[in-house]
Structure 1
Amino acid sequence: MYSISINPERDSPQALRRFMQTYDVGPGWTFLTGSQADITLLQRRLGISPADPTNLRGHNTSVIIGNEVTGQWIRRSAYENPQNLVELLTVAMRNYAPQTSRRSQSYAVAGEVIDNSRGSYLFRTRCVTCHTIGGGDRLGPDLAGVTDQRPQAWLSRWIREPDRMIAERDPTALALLARYRNLPMPNLSLGGDDAEAIIEYLRSQPAAHAASAPSHAH
């Protein structure tokens, strides 16, 4: 996977390396920069409108998947169902290989049914990169039991506008910022209904997860 800077004046190779270290970026994810002319040309070749580096909310959130052997390229939403992306990568984009037949299996080996609620979907697509529920801290805190530790009104606003709460110097927001390497929680442009769906999903998680929740979770 490649991430390409749209602001080469700011994003020097040294700055990109610091970013990778801050966010614990591992092998397989390469950060690139270059001249502004080359970056603009690449955006146009990929069918992406040149982005305004001063508008952080104007970035394109598409994922472009390509097969160099066949020359097949597909653009998908970064928030698409992960199962659909897996299907593209393993079947549709694998040199058009047909799906092999599989023998019938017992229901005893069936996987766990996925929670298809909106809260679950939002957590998987917006939150899971930085948070777990009972799996320990990542870039942000473990969220197990958070609905018992924080007032719902505070949680709802924190999910919707963390940047404003930090700017207003909310004590809890500042404490979390200091504890987690000064990495601010991003504003994901979620609405009130989205926040409530996420909170309800967190509240519905097994009690075993909540029992292991650290006291600093938000």
Structure 2
Amino acid sequence: MILSCSTSVSESCGAKSIFLQITLQSHPLLPNVRVGVVPAVRYTRTVVVHASFIAALATDLAFGDYNSLLTIEASQSQWVIVSSWGENGDFLSLSLTNIKIDTPDLAPVGLQPVRTYLAVLAARTATEEQEESEYLLVRHRPPGTAVGGIFHPSDGFVRVVHRNGGLTVVAHGRYAHCHGQHEGQLVVQDIPYPPLGYDKARAWHLSGTRRPWVGEFDVSASSSPPRPAGSSGDA
């Protein structure tokens, strides 16, 4: 008896299917053995991608020297709203709320974005156990992209990890800003090459973990995609 085996793989909407087919063939020395084909067996593995979500993060923030990122001058803990949206989670915002953390296990009701960093998707890997996405922070908003609060231009990157139902975010960046007014609202503008000693140039570091919040949203639990947290048009 001879066994031959073939496999094929198909993927649709994040679900990967593996088809296994085994064929039994007679051997010349065993002519009475029945020949047959075992029906294909399908094994399905589903990989969930969190493309659109809103969550509250209990976050540690640190600020330091623009040209020496590891020189920390100030640190604080506050609630941050993380929001991802777009067809493939193309955009991510990190909105500082200026609300200090008093109860780290539960985010307070009524969190609102005050100043917001914006990032665009650069890479993503997803398995059954973990999804990791990397974003690049931007100095200028793409046309038509609104964020909640005041948009803060920044260089840097954001790493977002979903694992075992949890969410962690780590980001590192730096910025140099000047302030102005547009249609009666405060706006923050980027300075590409800040002068030496410019007091509004900072490096920043962020590390946060999702906590339960009444305002959280995940596209896997709803058919309506979220908007950027607190967005109401251009800042």
- In the superposition, the TM-score normalised over structure 2's length comes to 0.22
Structure with larger RCO (C-alpha < 8 A, sep 6+):
2
Give the structure with the larger helix fraction.
Answer: 1
- The higher radius of gyration belongs to 2
Give the structure with the larger strand fraction.
Answer: 2
